[in-house]
């Protein structure tokens, strides 16, 4: 407990799935957690749920594609807490289709949220970390960004791009005390994955050496490690959390 005592952490897409699990773990470990999410209803429900568990988090309605909204939210965090120690770029969407069927709109929506949103959030937040001379930026990629996946041209491109940005930022900011890393989840039992037909889920499980999907907490625990002092010499890496599916 208290591995993140008094650390200020922003988690994008924190109202559900992996982001919500991360918000819970970070709050349990003493962090002051701010959730940025576009879904107001889920955000408010998450705050209420955590309050019942004795955990305090703040929800802010932020569209991570909208520069003005990100800047306003960043300024609010600085006004309230005076610093930002951790940024988890977790928000993401899918709009799956084969290349022949994929529309330009489907392509652009995924690139906007999964890639450009990560760029915008980091660009707004990192100056405050640079002033303090320390920080952790953790970007959510995917095994799809490493190895590709049928019907996910847009998603694979966005998640591969996140890995590229992670390595660049690790070089740019490392000497100024900021560690930048990425996590590449495999198939995790979130609402996004659970909407996939059961026969496909079962086929996936057969390919995973651990014979199960991951759970959001599996990813949240890796976020926690990378955000903690225990990971102070890890920079520019990509950690796959996938049950061994890519072996």
Tokens of 138: 């953790």
Do the Cβ atoms of 139 and 87 come closer than 8 Å? no
User: 224: which residues sit within 8 A by CB, 6+ positions away?
Assistant: 3, 4, 22, 25, 26, 29
For helices 153-173 and 117-132, angle between their N-to-C axes, nearest 10 degrees:
10
User: 32: which residues sit within 8 A by CB, 6+ positions away?
Assistant: 6, 7, 8, 9, 56, 58, 81
Distances (CA, A) of 209 to 143, 205, 214, 246: 15, 8, 12, 9
User: 231: which residues sit within 8 A by CB, 6+ positions away?
Assistant: 136, 179, 181, 225
d(CA 239, CA 8): 23
Clarify whether 233 is annotated catalytic: no
Do the Cβ atoms of 210 and 243 come closer than 8 Å? yes
Q: Which of 147, 155, 223, 233 is catalytic?
A: 155
Catalytically active residues are 155
């Amino acid at each position: 407990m208290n591995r993140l005592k008094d650390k200020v952490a922003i988690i994008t897409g924190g109202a559900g799935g992996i982001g919500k699990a991360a918000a819970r773990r970070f709050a349990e470990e003493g962090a002051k957690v701010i959730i940025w999410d576009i879904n107001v209803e889920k955000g408010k429900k998450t705050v209420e749920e955590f309050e019942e568990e004795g955990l305090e988090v703040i929800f802010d309605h932020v569209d991570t594609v909208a520069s003005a909204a990100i800047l306003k939210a960043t300024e609010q965090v600085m006004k309230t807490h005076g610093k930002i120690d951790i940024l988890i770029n977790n928000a993401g969407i899918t709009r799956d289709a084969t290349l022949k069927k994929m529309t330009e709109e489907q392509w652009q929506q995924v690139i906007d949220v999964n890639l450009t949103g990560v760029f915008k959030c980091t660009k707004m937040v990192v100056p405050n970390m640079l002033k303090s001379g320390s920080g952790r930026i953790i970007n959510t990629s995917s095994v799809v960004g490493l190895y590709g996946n049928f019907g996910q041209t847009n998603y694979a491109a966005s998640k591969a791009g996140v890995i590229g940005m992670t390595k660049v930022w690790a070089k740019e900011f490392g000497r100024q005390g900021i560690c930048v890393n990425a996590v590449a989840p495999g198939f995790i039992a979130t609402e996004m994955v659970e909407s996939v037909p059961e026969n496909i889920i079962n086929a996936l499980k057969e390919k995973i050496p651990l014979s199960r999907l991951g759970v959001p907490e599996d990813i949240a625990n890796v976020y926690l490690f990378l955000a903690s002092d225990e990971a102070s010499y890890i920079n520019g890496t990509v950690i796959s959390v996938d049950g061994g599916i890519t072996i």
